[in-house]
Amino acid sequence: GQNIDQPTEMTATEGAIVQINCTYQTSGFNGLFWYQQHAGEAPTFLSYNVLDGLEEKGRFSSFLSRSKGYSYLLLKELQMKDSASYLCAVRDSNYQLIWGAGTKLIIKP
Amino acid sequence: IAGITQAPTSQILAAGRRMTLRCTQDMRHNAMYWYRQDLGLGLRLIHYSNTAGTTGKGEVPDGYSVSRANTDDFPLTLASAVPSQTSVYFCASSQDRGGADTQYFGPGTRLTVL
């Protein structure tokens, strides 16, 4: 079966750095996405990786290793507004997105 | 309107009733999707449409039907609602289904079936 694993919850301090890991086992691979979802709201796009390596976008970076079936999202200079769930999703061989259950990130002052 | 809208925002429904969730996008995207999101689970695809006039089944299609008569609208119908269909439903769209195409989500419909 297809599977995306992420930690259920993480806690970090305002101003610090946090890394959210995602491991996947899917039928084929056509890209990996990270989305942010605030409580009661819709998911919004953060990043996309299809080749191995690091993609940087402001305070957020995403890393991919296809051989290890592994990605992480790195958030720097954490702000209170970063408190949200972070969803990892992999596009499989049928171009369908397979979603992880999400990691709830709690930021403390 | 800008982006994707969904209606209603929330609904309480008696089991056995028929219900249509509405979704409209104004971005002229070819592909549209319906997901359900349940606590502790990832988003699960119910149905999708690659382009107007075509639809396909996702991971959890049973009990749901869709139509795509034009580019903008993609309604989801529950023919006879059951309590297990209590969930938050998200409609999404993307330019196409491949490559780096980002999916844009509507605000969601919170459905409770009693």
Q: Could A4 and B42 be called an inter-chain contact, meaning their C-beta atoms sit closer than 8 Å?
A: yes
Q: Could A45 and B59 be called an inter-chain contact, meaning their C-beta atoms sit closer than 8 Å?
A: no
Local structure of A44: helix, strand or coil:
strand
Residues of A in contact with B43 (CB under 8 A): 43, 87, 89, 97, 99
Interface test with A, best of B9, B36, B43 (most A CBs within 10 A): B43
Q: How confident is the model at residue A58 (pLDDT cuts 50, 70, 90)?
A: very high
| CA gap A85, B66 in Å, rounded | 29
Size of interface A-B (CB pairs under 8 A): 44
Residues of A in contact with B105 (CB under 8 A): 42-44
Question: Residue B61's Cα: distance from chain center in Å?
Answer: 11
Cβ–Cβ < 8 Å for B81, B17: yes
Cβ–Cβ < 8 Å for B110, B10: yes
pLDDT in tens, B3-39: 999 999 999 999 999 999 999 999 999 999 999 999 8
pLDDT in tens, B82-107: 999 999 999 999 997 766 788 999 99
Q: How would you classify the pairing of strands A32-37 and B109-113?
A: unpaired
Residue of A nearest to B103 (CA): A45
Residue from the list B97, B100, B108 with its beta carbon closest to the beta carbon of A95: B97
Residue from the list B41, B58, B102 with its beta carbon closest to the beta carbon of A96: B58
pLDDT of A95 higher than 90: no
B14 close to A (CB below 8 A) = no
Residues of B in contact with A30 (CB under 8 A): 98
**A28 dihedral zone (left: phi>0; alpha: psi -120 to 50; beta):** left
B40 close to A (CB below 8 A) = yes
Name the least confident of A70-79, B37-46, B65-74, B78-87: B37-46
pLDDT of A98 higher than 60: yes
pLDDT at A2: 85
B74 close to A (CB below 8 A) = no
| CA gap A81, A72 in Å, rounded | 20
Cβ–Cβ < 8 Å for A41, A87: no
